[in-house]
């Protein structure tokens, strides 16, 4: 199996990306190229091939996977963003946890 070449990264203006999107996608997927799309000189987005993307977003490290599993079991995965921010604030200030936030409150919503 041949060693895959290092990706080449190129900066391109948004207008060029818009007018040549098909060609850019072909180059990203076939030639292992990455494109940083700029607008007014600032990086705004990245275009890269799917294989390159999958290499970047591999499975999370074991420690992160364990935290995700704990969140699912403890109910934290069902919290809204506001509830999550409130819990974080309470932990930072040393306040006790509100009842019902991550203690499994399925009965409140009929579930």
Both 68 and 37 in one domain: the answer is no
In this structure, are residues 47 and 22 in contact, taking their beta carbons and an 8 Å threshold? no
Judged on CB neighbours under 10 Å (0-12, 13-18, 19+), 104 is: exposed
pLDDT of residue 80: 80
Q: Which domain holds residue 19?
A: 8-56
Q: Is the sign of the CA dihedral 98, 99, 100, 102 positive or negative?
A: positive
Identify the band that residue 98 occupies on the pLDDT scale cut at 50, 70 and 90: low
Mean pLDDT value of segment 60-87 = 79
Both 34 and 13 in one domain: the answer is yes
- Checking if the pLDDT of 44 tops 90, the result is yes
Identify the band that residue 107 occupies on the pLDDT scale cut at 50, 70 and 90: very low
Both 46 and 86 in one domain: the answer is no
Both 49 and 67 in one domain: the answer is no
The dihedrals phi and psi of 68, each to the nearest 5 degrees, come to -65, -40
CA distance 79 to 55: 30
Identify the H or E element spanning 9.
Answer: strand 8-13
For residue 103, tell me if it sits in a domain: no
For residue 43, tell me if it sits in a domain: yes
pLDDT of residue 65: 76
The dihedrals phi and psi of 45, each to the nearest 5 degrees, come to -160, 165
Both 77 and 89 in one domain: the answer is yes
Both 13 and 47 in one domain: the answer is yes
Query: Where is pLDDT greater, at 37 or 5?
Result: 37
The dihedrals phi and psi of 95, each to the nearest 5 degrees, come to -75, 150
Mean pLDDT value of segment 14-28 = 95
CATH number at residue 17: 3.40.1620.10
Number of domains, the chain? 2
């Amino acid at each position: 199996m041949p060693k895959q070449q290092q990706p080449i990264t190129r900066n391109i203006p948004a207008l060029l990306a818009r007018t040549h999107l098909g060609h850019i996608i072909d180059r990203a997927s076939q030639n292992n190229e990455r494109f940083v799309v700029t607008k007014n000189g600032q990086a705004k987005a990245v275009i890269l091939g799917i294989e390159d993307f999958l290499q970047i977003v591999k499975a999370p490290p074991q420690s992160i996977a364990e935290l995700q599993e704990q969140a699912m079991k403890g109910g934290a995965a069902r919290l809204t963003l506001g509830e999550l921010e409130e819990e974080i604030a309470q932990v930072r200030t040393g306040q006790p946890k509100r009842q019902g936030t991550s203690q499994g409150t399925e009965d409140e919503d009929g579930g």
